Structure 1
Amino acid sequence: MDRPSGHAATVDRRPGNHAAAMDRMYRYTRHIYDITRKPYLLGRDRMIAELDVPPGGTVLELGCGTGRNLVAVARRYPDCRLFGVDISAEMLHTAGATIDAAGLTHRITLSPGDATAFDAASAFGLPRFDRVYFSYAVSMIPDWVAALKEADRLTAPGGRLAVVDFGDAAHLGALPRRLLHGWLALFHVTPRVDLAARMHTLATGRTVRHTSLHGGYAQIGTIG
């Protein structure tokens, strides 16, 4: 697989930082991640179906994890080019294997990188993309607002930024909501309950759509 190294040297993996924490978390669980997460990472395929990638378009996933979503996007939109970024070297190993197994190495390129500050031009030779998305990643990025701003910067004019992630669980009831958010906190996951408001702030005249799914368990937000 062609994996540009343009951003590899800038990912700080010293003990105590986010990259090192993600590597520790996923060093072993990456092997069973997709199987164990499938029942509760809801809304991913709906978000992919609504990306509406233009013919020959470019798609960037920030926090690409195991590569599961990149493969799904590639199959749904067979003439687009795809790019994936993750701060975890462990996850990128799994993503590479996933993409290899799917026979999609000619269409999907990976790079290590920080979603809050990513030099796409150096890593991929492209400064912006027709579609940029996060799938259950902003809830794990400490400075998620900076990541959202960076994703917006990487979205081409007339393009679309999409996010699917855990929601506020507002309609699940007080006890289920506390139990869900308490359980997620054990995995360093924090639902971004003000995602819609942050997207409206970024949009500056562009269309924002926000959908709450399954009683607020999950949410999908788009700009553009």
Structure 2
Amino acid sequence: MAGHGDLMDRIYRHQRHVYDLTRKYYLLGRDQLIAELDPPQRGSVLEIGCGTGRNLLAVRRRYPQARLYGLDISEAMLLTAKAHSQGQHIVYAKADAADFDPRALFGEASFDRIFISYALSMIPSWQAVLASAVKMLAPGGELHIVDFGQQERLPQAFRAALRAWLAKFHVTPRAHLRAAIEQLAKAEGATVAFLPIKGGYAWRLTLKKQMSRVPAAA
């Protein structure tokens, strides 16, 4: 996915300096996601598509004991994330979210919480990213997602204008996101919660993996 990484670098080479200031008005649901992460004490938290590090810094403030990791394919974004996160004990790495070894990058085989905020709509192989993330969840772990929805309860004119504007930034809302998550959950025996935000402007999804079952004593 070197080509996709190059594309992200071209898009964000300059935008990264104003990204957080401009995106806060329309990337809805990010702070609600962070409030609901609730990782265990000293639990591991991975953000896929961490961008400027804005979300992980918010996680650090809310859960100061958590072990935090950020992954992104854009070197430009990671430069900003690392600069913003000095002294915050957040580990960042560059990799393709659909194909990476968490132990090699972070020294962790699995994570208690994984979250993806407005990144799946920019990743061509988003289904592979979801499948990989679910496999990396620890027993009892949770995958939290917020991204653009289908604007299903909003006026058609607004929906068309939003889609045209997002396309300029190579953003494509994933119409089958909910179905893909539910299929993965079924295969894992996990549960899924789905919450549309502002008439479907955005979608919040949470997959919760079961704890490992302890065999009954003979």
TM-score category, normalised to shorter length = over 0.9
Q: 2:123 aligns with which of 141, 155, 178?
A: 141
The runs of 4+ residues in structure 1 deviating greater than 4 Å are none
- Is 2:136 the counterpart of 1:154? yes
Which residue number corresponds to residue 40 of structure 2? 54
Match of 2:201 in 1: 217
Percent of paired sites with the same residue: 53
Q: 1:117 aligns with which of 91, 99, 103?
A: 99
Q: 1:180 aligns with which of 133, 156, 162?
A: 162
Unmatched segments (≥5 aa) in structure 2:
209-218
Q: Partners of 2:144 and 2:100 in 1: how far apart?
A: 17
1:122 alignment partner, SS class:
helix
Whole-Å separation in 2 of the counterparts to 1:125 and 1:174? 47
State the distance in 2 between where 1:155 and 1:117 align. Answer: 15
- CA distance, structure 2, for counterparts of residue 194 and residue 138 of structure 1: 11
TM superposition score normalised by structure 1: 0.90
Match for residue 82 of structure 2? 96
Task: Let me know the Cα RMSD of the aligned residues.
Answer: 0.9
The answer on whether the counterparts of 1:59 and 1:131 sit within 8 Å (CA) in structure 2 is: yes
Q: Which amino acid aligns with 1:63?
A: G
**Whole-angstrom distance in 1 between the partners of 2:23 and 2:130:** 23
Q: Which residue is equivalent to 2:50?
A: 64
Once residues 185 and 123 of structure 2 are traced to their aligned partners in structure 1, the CA distance between those partners, rounded to angstroms, is 21
Does residue 199 in structure 1 map to residue 184 in structure 2? no
Determine if the alignment matches structure 1 residue 19 to structure 2 residue 19: no
Measured in 1, the distance between the counterparts of 2:73 and 2:101 equals 13
Letter in 2 for 1:67: G
Partner AA of 2:201 in structure 1: Y
Do the aligned partners of 1:200 and 1:208 also contact (CA within 8 Å) in 2? yes
CA contact (8 A) 1:65 1:95 kept: yes
TM-score normalised by L of structure 2: 0.92
| 1:7 alignment counterpart | none
Gaps of 5+ in 1: 1-11
CA drift of 1:193 comes to 2.0
**Matched residues, number:** 206
TM superposition shift of 1:42:
0.4
Counterpart amino acid of residue 193 in structure 1: A
Separation in 2, partners of 1:93, 1:35: 17
Match of 2:63 in 1: 77
C-alpha distance in 2, partners of 1:52/1:31?
30
Q: Are 1:195 and 1:221, in contact at CA under 8 Å, matched by a contact in 2?
A: no
